[in-house]
Structures are given as structure tokens and as C-alpha cells.
A and B are shown apart, each in its own frame.
Chain A
Amino acid sequence: MNYLADIGLEVHAELATRSKMFCACPVVDPALAQPNQAVCPVCLGLPGTLPVVNQQAVEFGLRVALALDCTIAPVSIFARKNYFYPDLPKGYQISQYEEPLAEHGILPIRTPQGVRNIRIRRVHLEEDTGKLTHVLADGEAYSLVDLNRAGVPLLEIVSEPDLHTVEEVRVYAESLRSLLCTLGVNSGDMEKGAIRFEANVSIRPAGSSDLGTRVEIKNLNSFKAMERAVAYQIGQQARLLDAGKAVEQETLGWDADREVTYSQRSKEEAHDYRYFPEPDLPPLGVEAAQVERIRQNLPELPFALQERLIQQYGISAEEAHLLSVDGNLANYFESCVRLAEDMPARIVLNWITGEVFAWMNQTGESIQQIKVPPEALIGLLNEVQQKIVNLNTAKSIMSEMLQSGQTAQVIIQQKGLQQVTDSNLIAAMVKEVLAAHPDEVKAYLDGKETLANWLFGQVMRRAGGKADPHMIRTELESQLKNMTKNTLRREGEK
């Protein structure tokens, strides 16, 4: 049977504040910090302490809510979500429930099938939990608790179940990530858990308008895990329905190693959390003037940026998406294009999506960290355009630039990489190569035309890779043509 999937995503994004949500403890880098290095009586949940809301977290939350075109609540309420687990020293998480910071937004996404507007149900503020490490040592099982992350501000962004394919889920998640990065409210560092996902998935027979029973999948910490888990769950539900069985509403975890979902038994239901208004915090009031000020100061958002890149530079939607993933990438691209007005934007783009992306993938450096600023890249491309070096040499120069931070000019000078463009010299090299390989030349003349490339390679090798490839090809063709004529003439004489 044919089914349509309905998928909604809950995204938890850490807000890039300097201090925690309800206390002044610093937010520390989990990769660098010692355990329990940033903990105080408030986030430790000691009796008699009181939370105070971080102004910057509210500002960041509003920035996101406005960028998603949400309606901002003039007054929102913090709520206690009660449950006992060692990652939560207070015994409850301060979150927002019935009256969140913002509701009813839209995130437009660009899929290969076109633009889709995904509805945002709500955006609310809450605090992160501590980190548990489960240990099994000498036959003894225990857990270790590090509370550095407890109380770090989180923004929860919940979509309506408007996504229908794994691809849409991925594009939505990527679009949201680039939005958060563009707004400067999140590091985008998935490996450090700065963004986490939960997906709710249901399927219904194609043509039916009633949503199916939904299953929630938690612990999705990477795009890959999310895609795999959603695809797995859609398949699983289709198998159940095909077999005439029903999908049960449940909460699942995702086992990234075995790539299967597993049931999280005994997870509390919403009413078991005994939500109630947080008595230690007053309602959060937001002034209209503040909302207006934040709205006015929003930067160009990824979707609008893509639109502009497509229009202005004639690049594809896919390429525009790639560049808008990180606002700094688009900046880099546009700086390059501005520096080289007579060069097609396409050439610049190919170098960025080619050599630069490959380097960033390989080293993990960001566009801001690479040692080749736009001026340096354009410097290299100018050398190519003026035929000082050929394309292949330019690629190896680029890899050296990325490594050392030297300019193309310096590398060319130091290594003597200037392209050989002396036509007499090239003609002489072609002649030498043809003389040195009579068998291959004969085979070529007998019709094995692919050998032309091999002969080209020999000449280029003799030139140390530095000759103008176009000149070699022309010279090679003309010398071989002469030989063909000579052979024909000799045969005619026989």
C-alpha cells in the first residue's frame, strides 16, 4: 500500500549566551571544561535559591521567534516540569508550557520540488539538563553526573507535522540550523550537542486526510541519525499497517550504532510531569518596543539570502543552499566576487565548493579559520586568468596556500611555477617526445587516437607540469597531422 508520512520536529537549540539561563554560572565548552567546573547553588538545586532570567536568552529567543515570523506573547509563563532523574538536581526543569514565548510561525524551505512553508507551532525557553555518563566497571554499574550543562539556556522550536519525506526533514533541519547561526544565537556545533532533535512520525494511507498514530523518537543528535531514524520508523510503520496491525503510540530512542529505534519504557506521559506555573519566577513580560527593535535589527535571513544569490549570480538553488548554510560562507563568496568584477561568479563558486569545501571537510576548519582570505583566492585566480599558471598547477598552489597561508604570487616565485608559454620551447618538447616514442606515435597514426592524451601527458611531464595545456595540445595536433601527411605521402610513393 502507498502511505504518506507526516513528520514534525522538535528542535532543542542551546542559546549562545555567556552565562546560564537562571544563574550567573558561565556556559563552558564541554570539550575543554573540567567536570562540575561551572556550578553554583542555583543550578545545583540547593534549597533557598531563586532563579533569575537571563536577559540575553530572552533577546535571543525573540530573535529566533521573529525570524520565524511567530506571534510573540506579550506575557509568557515559566512552568515546572516535574520528574526525577539524576541529570536534573532540582527534581524539575523550568520550561514553558501553556503560555510559551511565541507561537504560529513559518519556516520556508527550498526542496527540489519547490518552496514549502513549514508551520512552526511554538517557540519556548527552558533550561538544559546535566550530563550523565553510565559506567560499568568491575561488574558494578553506576552513573556519573556533571552539572556544567545544567541550566544552560535552551530554545525549543516545535514544528507542525508538515514534513512528508526524509529529504524535507533534512532540509528543514539544515535550514533551521543556518537560521540559528545567521542570527548569532547558536554555535551550530552538532558534535558538541548545540542542536538536538526529536521527531514525531506517523503515516496514513495515501489519500486519507486523518493523521495516523504518532511515534516519538528521541536522542537524535546529528542530521544523519535523524534521517536514518525517520526513514527506519516510516518503514516500520508501513510494515505494521501492511500486516494489518496497528501502530502504538510510544516514545522511542534511537540507537545510532545498530541503526534501530528502541522502546523507552516507563517514560512519563505529559500529565505525569505535573506541569504548573513556576512560583519562583514572575510572568515574563515583553514590551512591544523591544519586539520592534529586534525585528528591525534582524540580519538578512538564509532564505532571503538564497533568493538573492540565485537572482544576482545565476547560481542554482542547491548551490545557494550550500552557501547559505553558514552566513560567513556567503560573505566569503560575495567578497571574492566583488574583488574580481571581470571574472564570472561561477568560476569563484567552483573554487569555493571544490578546493575550499574539500579542505574544510578534511580539516574541520570554518571559512573564517582558513588561511586563504578572499583577496588571496582572487590573487590566485588572476594568475590563472593571465595564464601565468595553468589550472592544475593552480590547484596544487591552492592546497599549499590553504596549508601555509602564503600568497599565490610568493609560491609561484619561490617554486618557479610560471607557466611555460614560449611556443618554440613547447614545439621543441613535443618534437622530443614524439621522437622518443616511435611505437606509440605509429599506433596513433594507425588509428589508436586515445594515445593523443598519453602523448600530451608525456609533454606536460617534460615541462614539469607548467606548460600551457592549450598550447601543448595545439602543437601536438599540428605535429602529428604533419606526420600523418608525410606517412600518406610515403605510402602513395610506394
Chain B
Amino acid sequence: MLTREEVEHIAALARLELSAEETELYRRQLSAILEYAASLQELDTSEIAPTSSVLPPHGVLRPDEPRPGLSLDDVLRNAPRVDQKQFRVPPAIE
């Protein structure tokens, strides 16, 4: 079982604010998911390389040729607020 602290920590990383009830609800749900997934641990995979990708290596590379992106209007179209041609967001200083 996950602890309350673990759920709160994960919520903080995801920038989610949870009520006490929600924390308890997700603690039970997340624990159940982890438990289910943990059944995979029963398999012996010591002889098998991790599958980082199902795609074969040496994929497709792109030649280094610049192309114009979006117009400034389009770039900022979804911005909550705009200031000096930039996205204006809540203060993000540490």
C-alpha cells in the first residue's frame, strides 16, 4: 500500500492539490493499480534485455534545414495572457 505521504508527493510533482478524501481515494486506487502491475514481477526476465522501444534502431533523421515556424499570432493564440510578444504566466521564480 502507498502511504499518504507518497500520494501527496506524487500530487505535488503533478502540481495537483488534493483534498483529504481525494488523497485517501487515490491512495487506494493507485495501490490497487500498482499491485496489479506488480504481478508482472513474478516473471523471470533476467535473460531478456529491457524493451526500450518496439521500433528498430537507426530511425529516420532529419536534414538540418530550417523552415519558418508559426506566425507570432498563432504561437500566442492559446496563451492565457500575452505581454511583450511573450506568454505571461504566474511568477515562476524559485
On A, residues with C-beta under 8 Å from B are 17-19, 23-27, 34-41, 43-44, 52-58, 74-75, 77, 82-87, 99, 132-135, 141-147, 253, 264-268, 272, 274, 277, 279, 281-287
Chain A residues within 8 Å of B58, by CB: 282, 284-287
Q: Which of B62, B86, B88, B94 contacts A55 (CB 8 A)?
A: B62
Chain B residues within 8 Å of A43, by CB: 69
Chain A residues within 8 Å of B85, by CB: 34-36, 146
Smallest CB–CB gap between B56 and chain A, Å? 7
Query: Is B53 located at the chain interface by the 8 A CB criterion?
Result: yes
How far does the alpha carbon of A475 sit from the alpha carbon of B71 in the complex, in Å?
77
Query: Is B42 located at the chain interface by the 8 A CB criterion?
Result: no
Of all chain A residues, the one with the shortest Cβ separation from B51 is: A277
How far does the alpha carbon of A285 sit from the alpha carbon of B55 in the complex, in Å?
11
- B91 near A143 with CB under 8 A, answer yes
Can you list 17 contacts pairing A with B, beta carbon distance less than 8 Å? A19-B66, A23-B69, A24-B69, A26-B66, A26-B68, A36-B72, A36-B86, A44-B70, A55-B62, A83-B13, A133-B86, A142-B89, A143-B88, A146-B86, A147-B75, A277-B53, A284-B57
Smallest CB–CB gap between B86 and chain A, Å? 4
Chain A residues within 8 Å of B66, by CB: 18-19, 24-27
Query: Is B92 located at the chain interface by the 8 A CB criterion?
Result: yes
Query: Is B52 located at the chain interface by the 8 A CB criterion?
Result: yes
SS of A interface (majority):
loop
- B52 near A99 with CB under 8 A, answer yes
Interface residues in B, total, Cβ within 8 A: 36
Which residues, 52 to 94 on B, are CB-close (under 8 Å) to A? Answer: 52-53, 55-70, 72, 75-76, 83-94
How far does the alpha carbon of A74 sit from the alpha carbon of B58 in the complex, in Å?
9
How far does the alpha carbon of A85 sit from the alpha carbon of B69 in the complex, in Å?
23
Q: Which of B60, B64, B72, B90 contacts A37 (CB 8 A)?
A: B72
- B59 near A86 with CB under 8 A, answer no
- B70 near A40 with CB under 8 A, answer yes
How far does the alpha carbon of A39 sit from the alpha carbon of B75 in the complex, in Å?
7
Besides A24-B62, A35-B86, A143-B92, 18 other CB < 8 A contacts?
A18-B64, A19-B65, A19-B67, A26-B66, A36-B75, A43-B69, A55-B61, A83-B13, A134-B92, A134-B93, A143-B89, A144-B84, A144-B86, A279-B53, A282-B55, A282-B57, A283-B52, A283-B53
Q: Which of A19, A279, A285 contacts B64 (CB 8 A)?
A: A19
- A145 near B86 with CB under 8 A, answer yes
Chain A residues within 8 Å of B76, by CB: 36
How far does the alpha carbon of A282 sit from the alpha carbon of B13 in the complex, in Å?
27
- A44 near B61 with CB under 8 A, answer no
- B61 near A24 with CB under 8 A, answer no
- B68 near A57 with CB under 8 A, answer no
Of all chain B residues, the one with the shortest Cβ separation from A24 is: B67
Chain A residues within 8 Å of B91, by CB: 134, 141-143
Q: Which of B61, B68, B72, B89 contacts A54 (CB 8 A)?
A: B61
Q: Which of B61, B64, B89 contacts A145 (CB 8 A)?
A: B89
How far does the alpha carbon of A295 sit from the alpha carbon of B70 in the complex, in Å?
38
How far does the alpha carbon of A86 sit from the alpha carbon of B14 in the complex, in Å?
13
Chain B residues within 8 Å of A147, by CB: 75, 87
Q: Which of B61, B69, B84, B94 contacts A38 (CB 8 A)?
A: B69
Q: A35-B85, A144-B83, A277-B53 are in contact. Are A40 and B69 (CB under 8 A)?
A: yes
How far does the alpha carbon of A270 sit from the alpha carbon of B84 in the complex, in Å?
35
Chain A residues within 8 Å of B90, by CB: 142-143
How far does the alpha carbon of A19 sit from the alpha carbon of B61 in the complex, in Å?
13
Question: Most chain-A CB neighbours within 10 Å: which of B58, B62, B67, B84?
Answer: B62
Question: Most chain-B CB neighbours within 10 Å: which of A44, A141, A144?
Answer: A144
Chain B residues within 8 Å of A286, by CB: 58
How far does the alpha carbon of A145 sit from the alpha carbon of B91 in the complex, in Å?
11
- A272 near B13 with CB under 8 A, answer yes
Q: Which of A52, A75, A141, A283 contacts B62 (CB 8 A)?
A: A52
- B56 near A53 with CB under 8 A, answer no
Q: Which of A57, A82, A253 contacts B94 (CB 8 A)?
A: A253
Which residues, 10 to 65 on B, are CB-close (under 8 Å) to A? Answer: 13-15, 52-53, 55-65
Of all chain B residues, the one with the shortest Cβ separation from A141 is: B91
Chain B residues within 8 Å of A274, by CB: 13
